[in-house]
Structure 1
Amino acid sequence: MKRGTALASTPLTELGWAPDRFTRDAFADPRGNSRIPSIDGLRALAVLGVVVFHFELGLPGGFLGVDLFFVISGFVITRLLLAQRERNQRRPWLDFWFRRAKRLLPAVLLVVAAVQAWMLIQNPPGLRPTVNGQTRAALTYVSNWYEITAHIGYWAVGTETAPLSHLWSLAVEEQFYMLWPLVLAAALALPAKAPRRALAAAIALAAVSYTLAHHWYDPGAPDRAYLGTDARAGALLLGAVVALRPVRLPAPLAALLTAVSVVVLGALWATADIDSAALYTWQLPVAGLAAAVVVNALAHTPTGALSRLLCSAPLQWVGLRSYPIYLWHWPVWIFLGIECPALSHYARAAGGFIVALVLAAVSYALVEQPVRACSLRPLVILPALIVCSALLAGAALLPVTAPVDAESGVVVTGPNAP
């Protein structure tokens, strides 16, 4: 057997990595995806922060809920990949990619289909050119780069004309999911101290990512810094660091660090400005580090006060459905603004939140969970997902009647269509 092959199939414990009890418990799960309930509660807070921010309800830094999501995702997927490796699973990244497709793509297809149906039935003025472009980008998980090149997002095209603009964060995650398993596998295949090399790689790449966020920042137009995968992967990598080397501290010190981190996150969520230089200079890395400390604490102290709070029934319900809530809340918000203009701001927010919860619950129960639990082989499921994606892409390619500017009579097309 070749040396590289032998190393690739060697359990991590034989490579010098001694996981603590928490990590061994994760490896003991036969599916490799054991859940930590308090992490689900943390997901609930993350999605609620984003919804409150998008619905303009007085939380200027609520967009940092996305970074909290990123830290959680980096932690969970790295933990899963390590568990697969510990079971000597061959080519764990292939199984990982298939599971991610089953988990994430059906819900996205449902939301994109609903938005396309709205465009075809109601044809709201000026939206279809942008929505069609966003649809094609969403189906290939390049929404963030599309929004950068087409100048869509928080700083150029009004978000009221872009009901799929929030899918940029899913694109960042999916691009990370494609690359990180390969980087991790390569690091763990190196001889001697492989886990330490993987940890060092994650820390170094996180530092580079946060540096790039600062480098790409352009006052008044920070779309490249905010949306670019290279500039936003730092939080995902910090989550990976927690999974690679969870730190168990004495209880009093752990409680103090967790409390400080919670206070820091709360302060940033209450004050951060998405267009400020401070966000890209120090607030993003501080928010990522604070979130990593909290995730590490929840992983080690499932009976602590914060864990008990996050394990409350309402937060658990929202946390388990945080993904579809995130997917639905923004298109619903745009829909109500266009189709129900008489609603007051708070009525629109309340109605949007309720409708998003209902649609998320339906999606979770009737689409996500059945597909996730389906035992069909990849050769059956993947072609079905590809066919659905192709049909939606075809709908996004249908001819669009170009809107005409009422004052100048000039035909307006593309992302900047009114």
Structure 2
Amino acid sequence: MEADRIRGLDGIRAIAILGVFYTHFVDGDSLLGDLAVRTFFILSAFLITAKLVALRDAEGFSFAALRSFYTRRALRLLPTYYAMVLALAAIGLVTIRDGLFYHLAFLSNVWFAMNMNWHPWVLAHIWTLSVEWQFYLIWPLVVLSCANRSVALVAAGAIAIALAFWLGCYVTGYYPDNMVLWSPFSLDAFGVGALVFFHSGMLARPVRTRLLAAILPAALWGALQLVETDGRPRLLLVVDFLLQILPLLPMAILIAITASGTSPIINRVLGARPLAYLGRISYGCYLYHFPMLWLMMHLMWRLFDYPLKRGIIQLVVVAIPTIAFSALSWEFFERPIQKWGAGRQKAPQAKITV
């Protein structure tokens, strides 16, 4: 079974998209959205590394192998993405002055970081997709041309680079919101995801011990986030920085356990059909949720003279049509493209070692 066909992993995607919904629709100060995005990064790196290793072992490093990888990624991600961006441009929500060409070139993170604002806000969320595509430009070259041990060392180096950037912010005191939009700040999540693939056996067993070892330090990190930083000694800020990677550990272990199948209970819960299906359509949910928010805000105002403000009502009013539209997009647009692409080429199976 291919790694991305494991239903439990779709369940993790579903939980992550619900975390994004909660932060964007209910509580903008919640950490759930940030943790959800980092979960997507970890899971993406995990699955992509698995596929690339299988491709390398089957075909070696070649232009054909690179073309095969990028063709599959493009067929999965680009049609829906460009359909959404161009539709927003057609109705005037995104113009050239709003960085249309940046968004089309998957440089949205650069656009928002340079302008230090979130305009146009209907595309504010796609900076994460730009970061992911920038990762895709480099990582296939690394995995296809190196042995597993070297790839793991590069992944560890990526984590070190991200931590170095975080440390620079803490030490200099320069920490504007737009800094995290630059790709190096997300390398820790991608590096962790790649390492999960190579060390999934160690992370998955024994389940209880690994979960406890990850949850305790992550809980410490969460507690520190509740403490005001103003007036705190610089040493404590540096310690806070050193704990930055801790929240990634529970996610990494959960992904390893789920992919390995060592916990039937976790797989049964995360693999439940409704949750797994939501995870399967989570890409569409992520793409469409801000445009759907714009649409529902206008509809609620024009039809009912009601300002749709952040809260549970906004969550219900926007999330439900977003999920419904994403399901339609998957069944009648994304899935047919996937089937067409699968008929043209057969990808090597990605095996998860445990």
TM-score by length of 1: 0.70
Q: Residue by residue, what CA displacement relative to the aligned partner does 1:173-211 show, whole Å, maximum 9, x if unpaired?
A: 00101101112233x2xxxxx322221111122121122
Letter in 1 for 2:191: L
Instruction: Provide the rounded CA distance (Å) in 2 between the counterparts of 1:279 and 1:72.
Output: 27
Q: Residue by residue, what CA displacement relative to the aligned partner does 1:309-365 show, whole Å, maximum 9, x if unpaired?
A: 101122111110111000111121133334534144343321110111111111111
Corresponding position of 1:47:
17
- If you compute each CA radius of gyration, which structure gives the higher value, 1 or 2? 1
* Shift in alpha-carbon separation, 1:360–1:199, aligned structure 2, 3 A: same
Q: Give the unaligned 5+ runs of structure 1.
A: 1-28, 120-126, 189-193, 379-418
Instruction: Provide the rounded CA distance (Å) in 2 between the counterparts of 1:271 and 1:53.
Output: 20
Answer whether contact 1:47 1:322 (CA < 8 A) is retained.
yes
Letter in 2 for 1:82: V
Corresponding position of 2:136:
177
* Shift in alpha-carbon separation, 1:263–1:55, aligned structure 2, 3 A: farther
Instruction: Provide the rounded CA distance (Å) in 2 between the counterparts of 1:296 and 1:168.
Output: 27
How many aligned residue pairs are there?
325
Among 258, 273, 279, the alignment partner of 1:313 is 273
Among 221, 243, 252, the alignment partner of 2:176 is 221
Structure with more relative contact order (C-alpha pairs < 8 Å, separation 6 or more):
2
Corresponding position of 1:115:
88
- Report the Cα offset of residue 66 of structure 1: 0.2
Answer whether contact 1:97 1:178 (CA < 8 A) is retained.
no
Corresponding position of 1:100:
73
Answer whether contact 2:285 2:326 (CA < 8 A) is retained.
yes
Instruction: Provide the rounded CA distance (Å) in 1 between the counterparts of 2:83 and 2:49.
Output: 27
Corresponding position of 1:301:
261
* Shift in alpha-carbon separation, 1:102–1:108, aligned structure 2, 3 A: same
Question: Which has the higher mean CA deviation after the structures are superposed, 172-181 or 285-294?
Answer: 285-294
More helix by share: 2
- Report the Cα offset of residue 67 of structure 1: 0.1
- Report the Cα offset of residue 245 of structure 1: 3.1
Letter in 2 for 1:168: W
**Which secondary structure state, in structure 2, belongs to the residue aligned with residue 141 of structure 1?**
coil
Q: Residue by residue, what CA displacement relative to the aligned partner does 1:85-128 show, whole Å, maximum 9, x if unpaired?
A: 22235522221111111000011112213322332xxxxxxx55
Instruction: Provide the rounded CA distance (Å) in 2 between the counterparts of 1:278 and 1:340.
Output: 46
Letter in 2 for 1:54: H
Among 338, 353, 366, the alignment partner of 2:319 is 353
Answer whether contact 1:38 1:302 (CA < 8 A) is retained.
no
Answer whether contact 1:216 1:222 (CA < 8 A) is retained.
no
Q: Give the unaligned 5+ runs of structure 2.
A: 230-236, 346-354
Identity of aligned residues (%): 26
- Report the Cα offset of residue 278 of structure 1: 8.4
Instruction: Provide the rounded CA distance (Å) in 2 between the counterparts of 1:70 and 1:59.
Output: 21
Among 346, 364, 373, the alignment partner of 2:330 is 364
**Which secondary structure state, in structure 2, belongs to the residue aligned with residue 87 of structure 1?**
helix
- Report the Cα offset of residue 279 of structure 1: 11
Letter in 2 for 1:84: L
1:83 equivalent in alignment to 2:54: yes
Corresponding position of 1:149:
114
Instruction: Provide the rounded CA distance (Å) in 1 between the counterparts of 2:240 and 2:110.
Output: 18
Instruction: Provide the rounded CA distance (Å) in 2 between the counterparts of 1:77 and 1:250.
Output: 19
Question: Which has the higher mean CA deviation after the structures are superposed, 197-206 or 334-343?
Answer: 334-343
- Report the Cα offset of residue 299 of structure 1: 2.0
**Which secondary structure state, in structure 2, belongs to the residue aligned with residue 66 of structure 1?**
helix
Corresponding position of 2:339:
373
1:326 equivalent in alignment to 2:286: yes
Corresponding position of 2:186:
232
Q: Residue by residue, what CA displacement relative to the aligned partner does 1:24-47 show, whole Å, maximum 9, x if unpaired?
A: xxxxx6xx6552211110011111
**Which secondary structure state, in structure 2, belongs to the residue aligned with residue 247 of structure 1?**
helix
Alignment of 1:174-213 (within 5 A): 174-186=133-145, 188=146, 194-213=147-166
**Which secondary structure state, in structure 2, belongs to the residue aligned with residue 152 of structure 1?**
coil
Among 126, 132, 138, the alignment partner of 2:103 is 138
Instruction: Provide the rounded CA distance (Å) in 2 between the counterparts of 1:290 and 1:278.
Output: 22
Answer whether contact 1:60 1:271 (CA < 8 A) is retained.
no
Letter in 2 for 1:243: F
Corresponding position of 2:123:
164
Instruction: Provide the rounded CA distance (Å) in 2 between the counterparts of 1:33 and 1:294.
Output: 14
